[in-house]
Amino acid sequence: MPPRTVVIGVDSSTQSTKAAVTDVETGELLAVGRAPHVVTGEGGARETDPEVWWRALCDAVAAGLKESGLSASAVTGIAVAGQQHGLVTLDGTGRPLRPALLWNDTRSAPQAAALVEELGGPEAWTARTGTVPVASMTATKWRWLRENDPANAEATAAVRLPHDFLTERLAGVAATDPGDASGTCWYSTVTGAYDPELLDRLGLDVSMLPEVAATGGTRVGSLTESAAEALGLPAGIAVAAGTGDNMSAAVGLGLGGAGLLDHPVLSLGTSGTVFAASLARPASTALSGFAAADGTYLPLACTLNCTLAVDKVAGLLGLHRDDATPGGEAVLLPYLDGERTPDLPHSSGLLTGLRHDTTPQQLLGAAYEGAAFTVLRALDELLRACGLDPADPEVAGRPLRLIGGGAQGRTWVETVRRLSGQPLIVPAGGELVALGAAALAASAAGGGDPVAIATRWNAKAEDAELPPVERDTETWERVGSVLDRAAEPVLGR
């Protein structure tokens, strides 16, 4: 029997790093090493020292290899999928000048509004970059840094996204991919390159940015001697360009040009996202019109408040996360960190509809409903961006793939099922972001389309399929009515 060969797919998320040791031939997940991150900041601030990510990557790879029982010589490639939009500023030696501003740092909301106005409104941004700037986007964070921390902005020699920073540590090469680059608001999804006019407007020189590889699976370099020593891996193995976490999850699911197109996915994690891979370039101001890691597009809507926000409500009520019942007349919008979709960066949680007979379990159920409604409402716009009619029975009957930590929770699954009225598929394989990164690594190490590789790996998976239930239109309309009436006067922009 020939020796087993493996690749390592790294998921560097907001809260932790996971390193998935994956069999190249079968896609079998042999082991997953884990290491935590530290997020700091109060109010709208959310920051992490990028060196924390590097130490976590080293620790997670070591733990994964140890758990797998394999020799490091079995590893042929590595790729990183990282949290999107974060701003990493480096000095001339490649060291971080300050903690990175994370995607869920909302301090740059005023800068986002100013940028939208300067270019002529949301439609102008959608036409250029596919995406309207909100506080999450990297361009707004760079503008914030220049205005609020000018000394570090002036000292910045290089600007990176979180996954770019880690890839450069691995290969010694400044590289990114179209998927993660498209979340900056200085990359054009029309030309497939950085937009010179936008860079000039932001005060960024293109020399400060990484080269954009053709795909996330492109081999951009080899593991350096110093990185190999830090990780305990062989020097010279393939390093892929990598991508953003949402793009990597799409690859892990087999979504893309060599797989499924125009099939929606709902991810329930720290953030809630709904996305699909499509050949159609998205042009909706209500969505983020991202590129995908494989050369297609990935229209996406993202909310800031999902599983962590609901868990916070459960903690305040002294309940377990599954001690929930439908909310009844209560409506709870758990916008504890401001909100991105809809664009309400200064909002906070809102509770209304309390009665004498309202129970704690109903309040928790209302938090689930508010979070699920917020991300599900973007689904119709997503389908339209793919060139589909949401009212078409064939389109409406397409199953919604449910992923992320929330997909393992009974109450999350049932809430989404009840509010969507759609059939659900809960993929059998876990760690989809890391699995997608592993497919990118396999592509870089041996060639082949990463989506095709992941599709082959998924062929024998036994996914859970749940038939549709009657849609709870009463709850849907009640939550929507509260959000629409409260957005401007109560929640604010």
425 - beta bridge partners? 401, 465
Q: What is the pairing mode between strands 6-12 and 16-23?
A: antiparallel
Residue from 337, 266, 347 nearest 304 by CA = 337
Tokens of 472: 């709870």
In contact, 367 and 313? CB cutoff 8 Å: yes
Contact 420, 378 (CB under 8 A): no
**Active-site residue, selected from the candidate residues 23, 180, 195, 245:** 245
- Write the DSSP assignment of 311-357 as a string of letters: HHHHHHHT--TT-----TT-EEE--BTBBTTTTBTT---EEE---TT
Residue-wise DSSP of 447-481: -S-HHHHHHHHHTT---EEE------HHHHHHHHH
Please confirm, yes or no, whether 245 is among the known catalytic residues: yes
CB 279 within 8 A of CB 259: no
Q: Say if residue 237 is exposed, middle or buried (CB neighbours under 10 Å; 0-12, 13-18, 19+).
A: buried
Give whole-number Cα distances, 395 to 239, 263, 415, in Å. Answer: 38, 9, 21
In contact, 8 and 67? CB cutoff 8 Å: no
Q: What's the length of the chain?
A: 493
Q: Which residues pair with 118 in a beta bridge?
A: none
Catalytic residue numbers read 245
